[in-house]
């Protein structure tokens, strides 16, 4: 009888341990499913500066969502080297960004693969404002956003203007040059067509003229 009692107790303990381990395994699987679902709807908002097609002295800012889900309630905070917030009228470069409503007011949403791009500043104007010290500025942009379920995320991007020093460009964008030349031709044709007193001169040679020559 005592062996039967010990066996009963052992079975009860093993059953409890098995139930506990099964619960832990089930909980881990549920957590994995939650993480997988979150990854499938997770946005990833980034900011980068790029040279305009017009020329390297003109800089565009591009905000893109490279994640797998829609980003909502996107906001931007500018920080200095020490991580302190920078507000308007405290930094020349930050003021350039704050002129754009997307940085002042944020974005309500940005879709999967969507890109928002705008001209930010030119090094010509920046050089005047900074008295030629255009490679000294440094700022960090903290981006806060949420997924469609309200889970918060944060990305931080540092922009050091020293990285632009010594950068040069050969040639230029041929498509931009072609578009510029076509624009000039179109404007010339419109001027001629709009003025009835002006005519386009055309030299015509007959076969007899060529024979006499």
Q: Which residue has the higher pLDDT, 56 or 201?
A: 56
Q: What pTM was computed for the model? A: 0.62
Spatial separation of the C-alpha atoms in residues 41 and 67, rounded to whole Å: 8
Mean pLDDT (the chain, rounded): 77
Spatial separation of the C-alpha atoms in residues 213 and 204, rounded to whole Å: 15
Could you read off the pLDDT of 158-191 as tens digits, one per residue? 887 776 666 554 445 444 444 454 455 455 545 5
Spatial separation of the C-alpha atoms in residues 140 and 86, rounded to whole Å: 10
Could you read off the pLDDT of 89-118 as tens digits, one per residue? 888 888 888 989 899 999 999 999 999 988
């Amino acid at each position: 009888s005592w062996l039967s009692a010990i066996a009963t107790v052992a079975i009860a303990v093993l059953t409890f341990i098995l139930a506990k381990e099964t619960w832990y395994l089930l909980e881990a699987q549920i957590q994995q499913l939650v993480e997988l679902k979150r990854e499938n709807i997770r946005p990833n908002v980034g900011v980068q500066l790029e040279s305009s097609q017009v020329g390297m002295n003109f800089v565009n800012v591009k905000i893109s969502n490279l994640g797998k889900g829609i980003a909502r309630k996107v906001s931007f905070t500018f920080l200095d080297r020490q991580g302190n917030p920078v507000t308007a009228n405290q930094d020349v470069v930050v003021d350039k960004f704050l002129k754009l409503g997307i940085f002042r007011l944020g974005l309500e949403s940005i879709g999967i693969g969507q890109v928002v791009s705008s001209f930010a500043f030119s090094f010509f104007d920046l050089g005047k404002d900074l008295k030629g010290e255009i490679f000294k500025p440094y700022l960090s942009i903290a981006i806060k956003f949420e997924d469609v379920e309200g889970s918060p995320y944060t990305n931080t991007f540092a922009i050091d203007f020293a990285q632009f020093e010594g950068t040069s460009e050969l040639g230029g964008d041929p498509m931009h040059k072609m578009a510029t030349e076509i624009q000039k031709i179109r404007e010339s044709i419109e001027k001629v067509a709009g003025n009835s007193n002006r005519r386009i001169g055309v030299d015509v040679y007959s076969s007899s003229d060529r024979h006499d020559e």
